[in-house]
Amino acid sequence: MTRPLLLLDVDGPLNPFKSRLAGLRGYTGHRMWPTVWMSYRTPGSRRARRGARVRLHPTHGARLLALPYELTWATAWTHEANTMIAPHIGLPADLPVIEWPELFAADPDGLSWKTRHLVDWAAGRPFAWVDDMITPRDRAWVRAHHPAPALLLRIHPRQGLRTADFATLNSWAAGLSAGAP
């Protein structure tokens, strides 16, 4: 059986940007200048010069690679996830990246701007999507429009990926394998 896809967002799951205690939980701080973040800043402003504050856990890469999935970036960071995020957490710098037709586009049905494109991109394959912006509406739409199993795992941006989330991802993939012929 083909391994399911793991569609991975950066901000929220890997970068718990709303956490005040991330450093106490093993996260390390970094300053980065991703293109999408910079596009919302005034050139030369103090915020643009300082860059985005990104917190990353150095063990997350190994834990993600240990999961029975094919990893794919599903983030507004696009290819910069491979160059800016991957080295800090131990992921390879050549993971596939989903190309978005338009970042942050409003959806007519109130879905996340990613939902429809992720289902198209998965092309009928089972997938787990890890993101901080998943809603019940996204889950219902994916159930109705995706022919294969899908796990939409919302990660709180104050917590980031936690041990229980890795366990959920592992057990969901194991359930797929158990159901295979």
66 burial level (CB within 10 Å; 0-12, 13-18, 19+): exposed
Q: Which two tokens stand for residue 154?
A: 């919302």
Query: How many Cβ atoms are within 10 Å of 122's Cβ, its own excluded?
Result: 22
Q: Which tokens belong to 139?
A: 């889950």
pLDDT at 113: 96
Over residues 80-94, the pLDDT tens digits come to: 999 999 999 999 999
- Give the confidence band of 112 by pLDDT, cuts at 50, 70, 90: very high
* pLDDT exceeds 70 at position 174: yes
- Residue 163 tokens read as 């041990």
Structural domains of the chain sorted by starting position, each given as residue range(s) with its CATH number in brackets? 5-16+57-178 (3.40.50)
Q: Using a pLDDT cut of 90, give the percent of the chain over it.
A: 82
Q: Which two tokens stand for residue 13?
A: 């799951």
pLDDT band at 28 (very low <50, low <70, confident <90, very high): very high
Q: Rounded to two decimals, what is the model's pTM?
A: 0.93
